[in-house]
Amino acid sequence: MPLHEEVTALMRGVAAEVVLPRFRALAAEDVAIKSAGEVVTIVDREAELRLHDGLAALGLGARILGEEAAEEDPALLDNVDEGLVWLIDPLDGTANFAAGRAPFGMMIALVENGSTVAGWMLDPLTGRLCHAVRGMGAICDGAVIRARPSGALRPRAALGTHFLAPDRRARVHAEADLQLDVVAVPRCAAESYPRLVLGQDDAALFQRILPWDHAAGALFVTEAGGMVTHWDGSPWRVGGHGVGVLAAASPRLWERAADALLRPAAGLVERDRLAA
């Protein structure tokens, strides 16, 4: 993609100048409660402003939508699946960052009419950059990459169920434990999606479908040979109306995860509603 170097340089610059200097150096007043179970930091806001201005300078004429701007004005999400849109998650894994621990990341995606055209995910601590362009494959640190399974006897699944009610969460985990090895979630989509390609995890379940959390990662996984859908089996897309996200390193692993997680007993979706 012609803009790959420019977007990469922008992200690395913001990571070096805004994000990393404040890692484990936040003052109490630099952190605030955003919503139940979520925090926001001064870094989220400053990084988003820098990324917004940098993307605007590229001259594509696309709308630019950042997570923190949408938090302030939810109407910005209206018609997010129309036209050309830049999506920004300036600091994914904010709770980890605020607690002084990894992982956390930065994500940018370019979306056209609800379909992700290109995506970038940067790990500021390691410098790892995952990138994908629609129809052109996935790249990690400059090398073309294909998703590989973990090789575990039972698929390794990271279940993002922390926003579910306790009784529903218990049902999901009870069913998962019958067929899957449930592993800890990183609480950072910018880490969850690469793990599916790098052979660390085989499947990942997400409840929330905020576009900046998934646009870059879903493209990266699918371009690497994996599969990403809503819980009903319909393809995930920006602005889609499906519920939840199930991602896996391959279609076969998606089926194995769906057999455990999307059966009626798990309480997430009726099995006969699955499209795949």
The verdict on whether residue 232 carries a ligand-binding annotation is no
**Is 150 part of a structural domain of the chain?**
no
pLDDT of 243 strictly over 70: yes
pLDDT score recorded for residue 1: 62
Look at residues 145, 173, 204 and tell me which one is the last residue of a structural domain.
145
**Is 151 part of a structural domain of the chain?**
no
Q: Is the pTM of this model over 0.85?
A: yes
Burial class (CB in 10 A: 0-12, 13-18, 19+), 225: middle
pLDDT score recorded for residue 263: 83
pLDDT score recorded for residue 165: 87
The verdict on whether residue 6 carries a ligand-binding annotation is no
Q: Are residues 201 and 108 in the same domain?
A: no
Give the separation between CA 124 and CA 91, rounded to whole angstroms: 10
Q: Are residues 37 and 164 in the same domain?
A: no
Q: Are residues 218 and 103 in the same domain?
A: no
In sequence order, which residues have a C-beta less than 8 Å from that of residue 122 and are 6 or more positions away? Answer: 8, 11, 12, 15, 105, 106, 107, 128, 129, 190
Q: Are residues 190 and 257 in the same domain?
A: yes
Q: pLDDT digit string (tens) for 44-57? A: 999 999 999 999 99
The verdict on whether residue 89 carries a ligand-binding annotation is yes
**Is 221 part of a structural domain of the chain?**
yes
pLDDT score recorded for residue 132: 98
The verdict on whether residue 77 carries a ligand-binding annotation is no
Helix (H, G, I), strand (E, B) or coil at 146: coil
Look at residues 121, 145, 169 and tell me which one is the last residue of a structural domain.
145
Q: Per mean pLDDT, which range of 81-90, 106-115, 238-247 is the poorest?
A: 238-247
- Total domains in the fold of the chain: 2
Q: Are residues 127 and 192 in the same domain?
A: no
Average confidence score pLDDT of the chain: 93
Burial class (CB in 10 A: 0-12, 13-18, 19+), 99: middle
Q: pLDDT digit string (tens) for 56-78? A: 999 999 999 999 999 999 999 99
pLDDT score recorded for residue 271: 42
- The CATH number of whichever domain residue 200 belongs to comes to 3.40.190.80
Phi, psi of 15 (to 5 degrees): -60, -45
Question: What is Dmax (Cα atoms) for the chain?
Answer: 52
Per the structure, the complete domain to which residue 194 belongs is given by: 156-273
- For residue 175 the two structure tokens come to 């069913």
Helix (H, G, I), strand (E, B) or coil at 219: helix
The verdict on whether residue 91 carries a ligand-binding annotation is yes
